Amino acid sequence: MAKQGLKRQQNRMALILLTPALATILIFTTIPAFTTLSYAFFHWNGFQRGSFAGFENFSRLFHFPFRDQFFMAMRHNFLVFIGIFLFQTSLGIFLAYALFKIRRGQRFHRTVAFFPVIFSLVIVGYTWQIILNPFFGPVDYLFHSLHLDTFARAWLGDTSTALPTLVFINLWRWVGFPTIIFLAGLNAISTDYVEAARIDGASEGQIFRKILFPLLAPSMTIVTILTFIGAFEWFDLPYVLGGSSGGPAGATDTLALMFYRLSFGSVDSIANQIGIGSALGVIIFIIVGVGATLGAKWLRGREVEA
Amino acid sequence: MIRLISSKLFWRSVLIFNAISVLLPVFFLINSSLRSSTDFANNPMELARHPYWHNFAQVWQNGDFANFLKNSLIITGGSLIVILAFGVGAGFVLGRYQFRGQNLILGFVLTAMLIPAKLMILPLFIQLKWMHLLDSHLGLILVYASGSLPAAIFILSGFFRALPVDLDNAARMDGASEGQMIRKVLMPLVRPGLAIVTIYAAIPIWNDFFLPLVFIQSPEKKTIMQGLTIFFGEYASQWGVLFAGLMIASLPLIILYLILSEQFIKGLTAGAVKG
């Protein structure tokens, strides 16, 4: 009898406590996520929905004038992913290993390494914009005063250096994140393996290559997937530093910026194109979803049990 | 070469070099905020021997800035209250009760976690307009709450699940209602989880500028990160003032990070690091 009373009280409690959270998620995440799909299949006039469009919005993305923008933006996203993966991930492992080896002062260095991650990308972007300013920034000032004028340039204003410079700023801001994940991965590896290898006369390099690195595979999976998602949804840093059209001259344009321009209009075209924007949104979602799922599957397959 | 790489000295120098690369731009930011604009324009690399506090006064006199800060505090604080209140309730039920349909609800929450917020910005925009929540702090708070709730529920249900069952039974035997049991017995024990969720949610919300960019139009309702972009247009080439603005906008998090660095690292990597 008492038990049934408790059960009834619990059911009522579950209902009262679950409803606010689930309703919020349903209204502000789940429903918009589903409607975003439908938007791509309609004609739009401003924010007014028109007739059914079939796949027209998608096909317009692959025709003039969107085609060139679309493929260039996608190429930039891809290059950013490769750049982040090559430099940020390897530097992350490198720093994590350094933190793993050095116990004295580890706490200080860990705190410092993660420090930039707490900064807003707006603050990071503007700070670096001034540091790299060709007239007033300390970097070019240094090059000039060392008579290395050929190295001084408008890092963010030059179409050939703008994107690599953004990847570098991204690295400064983010590298602490993979570092902490890899450090946690290294700390999770049983010291028995390392001890045994050391007794067998393995060098530190061998221990890293043959034992630690393969056992870091789970951390590698997480970092790679997060990098992939981040690279294909890249928006904040290029927006802060290059504006919504990915300046200079579209050199830092990304799919997310193009999506933003189509959805809310831009300096060049005030009119927005919600249908085409939504089609692009669906395409980004598919790239990220399919890429992350297949990537995770493949990467997990090569993980070994620790 | 090989001997060098396996030496502790090498790895220690790597860490010192990294610390310099991280701290130098931050030092540059702090130092330049204490120099006058003309002084900076003459030589960007000199030390601020005589701190020029006037920059900060000038930022503060621009009345908008204080208002932007206040708006950011309201939005971040409001979102946190919703996330913690709703998240604790749902986390408790999913972590502690067993009932039919539980896996369905967990699946619903997990799916919501995978949806990228940026891509549903259009329907959200139209939906908020229809709900009269566009250009409002409450609208922004609800969208942020919805974005962080799935992970918050997931993290908190894990903490609730880890507590021994006897605790509940003992509390019930003593005649506590379910609500009293949560507040008096369980809540204090999941405090580390609350800290993780707070940081996991608060930092990205404080730092965000994408959602305010799209949802907030009235100048007096804008957030600090959004305000900085306006500020940079207004004070172009008044370097000292710009640096002071950047300092004021980043100072709250820098101070909190210095006090709570361990919790920050745990909170911001929650979900990516097991355990």
Arithmetic mean of pLDDT over chain A: 90
Q: What is the mean pLDDT of residues B1-6?
A: 67
User: E strands within A137-227?
Assistant: none
User: Which of B120, B217, B260 to substitute to test the interface with A, most A CBs within 10 Å?
Assistant: B120
Q: Which residue of B has its CA nearest to A23?
A: B146
User: How far off is chain A from B96, nearest CA to CA, in Å?
Assistant: 10
pLDDT category at A302 given cuts 50, 70, 90 is confident
Are B43 and A24 in contact (CB < 8 Å)? no
Tell me, what's the ipTM?
0.90
Q: Chain A residues with CB inside 8 Å of B275's CB?
A: 184, 188
- pLDDT on residue A269: 64
Q: Chain B residues with CB inside 8 Å of A128's CB?
A: 25
The lowest-confidence range among A250-259, B20-29, B41-50, B199-208 is: B41-50
pLDDT category at B73 given cuts 50, 70, 90 is very high
Say what angle helices A31-39 and A274-301 make with each other, to 10 degrees. Answer: 120
State the Cα–Cα distance between residues B65 and B67, nearest whole angstrom.
Answer: 5
Percent of chain B exceeding pLDDT 70 equals 96
Q: Which residue of A has its CA nearest to B85?
A: A21
pLDDT surpasses 50 at A1: no
- pLDDT on residue A2: 61
B265 touches chain A (CB under 8 A): yes
pLDDT category at B2 given cuts 50, 70, 90 is low
**Portion 169-228 of B in contact with A at CB < 8 A:** 172, 177-179, 203, 206-210, 214, 225, 228
Q: From residue A30, how far is each of A34, B117, B150, B221 by CA, in Å?
A: 6, 10, 11, 27
- pLDDT on residue B7: 81
Q: Where are the alpha helices (DSSP H) in chain B?
A: 2-5, 8-33, 37-42, 54-61, 63-96, 102-114, 121-130, 137-161, 166-173, 178-180, 187-189, 191-207, 210-215, 224-234, 239-268
Is A229:A288 a contact under the CB 8 Å cutoff? yes
Nearest alpha carbon to residue A263 among B210, B140, B148: B210
pLDDT surpasses 80 at B6: no
A64 touches chain B (CB under 8 A): no
Spatial neighbors of B209 by CB under 8 A, at least 6 apart, are A120, A121, A122, A236, A240, B223, B225, B226, B229
**Portion 128-147 of A in contact with B at CB < 8 A:** 128, 130-131, 136-138, 141-142
Are B22 and A109 in contact (CB < 8 Å)? no
State the Cα–Cα distance between residues A145 and A143, nearest whole angstrom.
Answer: 6
The lowest-confidence range among A25-39, A135-149, B189-203 is: A135-149
Give chain A's largest Cα–Cα span: 90
Is B212:B140 a contact under the CB 8 Å cutoff? yes
Spatial neighbors of A2 by CB under 8 A, at least 6 apart, are none
Q: What is the pLDDT of residues B137-196, one digit of tens each?
A: 999 999 999 999 999 999 999 999 999 988 888 888 888 888 888 888 898 999 999 999
State the Cα–Cα distance between residues B169 and B176, nearest whole angstrom.
Answer: 10
Are B254 and A118 in contact (CB < 8 Å)? yes
pTM: 0.92
Q: Which residue of A has its CA nearest to B250?
A: A119
Are A235 and B97 in contact (CB < 8 Å)? no
Nearest alpha carbon to residue A246 among A62, A57, A75, A130: A75
Are A236 and B209 in contact (CB < 8 Å)? yes
Are B239 and A11 in contact (CB < 8 Å)? no
Q: What is the pLDDT of residues B204-251, one digit of tens each?
A: 999 998 999 999 999 999 999 999 988 888 888 788 999 999 999 999
State the Cα–Cα distance between residues B207 and B250, nearest whole angstrom.
Answer: 9
Q: What is the pLDDT of residues A82-125, one digit of tens each?
A: 999 999 999 999 999 999 999 888 999 999 999 999 999 999 99
